[in-house]
């Protein structure tokens, strides 16, 4: 795996899901970053979601963080519900994408929203429709 010049080297990627799109191959992961923030509480492994991409399945490049559109792991725990309510998760893991007739959905294992609830105590399957631009 290769990183861009600005890419961090102190992260880990696990629970990978690979799929092919019109512009090549994509890998979604549970991305763990160094814990230097207060959320999520220990022992949760956090909400980080990673995106890597490849043209040939041999050379991979780091892409953006994918949950919550933020590089901060704590911000990736924020979830806006339909109707305007917001919750803060303690974990998001095992990303999977379902393509259903042109609409795509992101499935993740999630836990929370209480700070005392980690993936080791209670989890559920979270499903979100992926909003994309045509051809992405």
**C-alpha dihedral (87, 93, 94, 98), degrees to nearest 10:** 20
pLDDT at residue 2 in the model:
45
- Chunked into runs of 10 residues, the chain (136 residues) has average pLDDT values of 52 84 88 60 69 91 68 70 84 89 88 69 85 62
pTM: 0.74
Predicted pLDDT at 56: 92
Q: What is the pLDDT of residue 27?
A: 92
pLDDT at 91: 81
- The radius of gyration of the chain from alpha carbons, rounded to an integer in Å, stands at 15
């Amino acid at each position: 795996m290769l990183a861009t010049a600005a890419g961090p080297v102190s992260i880990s990627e696990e629970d990978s899901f690979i799929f092919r799109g019109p512009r090549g191959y994509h890998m979604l992961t549970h991305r763990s970053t160094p814990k230097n923030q207060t959320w999520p509480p220990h022992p949760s492994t956090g909400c980080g979601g990673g995106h890597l991409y490849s043209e040939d399945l041999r050379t991979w490049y780091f892409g953006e963080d994918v949950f919550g559109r933020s590089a901060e792991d704590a911000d990736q725990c924020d979830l806006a519900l339909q109707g305007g309510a917001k919750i803060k998760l303690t974990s998001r893991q095992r990303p999977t994408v379902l393509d259903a007739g042109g609409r795509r959905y992101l499935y993740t294992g999630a836990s929370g929203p209480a700070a005392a609830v980690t993936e080791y105590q209670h989890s559920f399957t979270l499903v979100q429709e992926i909003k994309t631009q045509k051809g992405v």
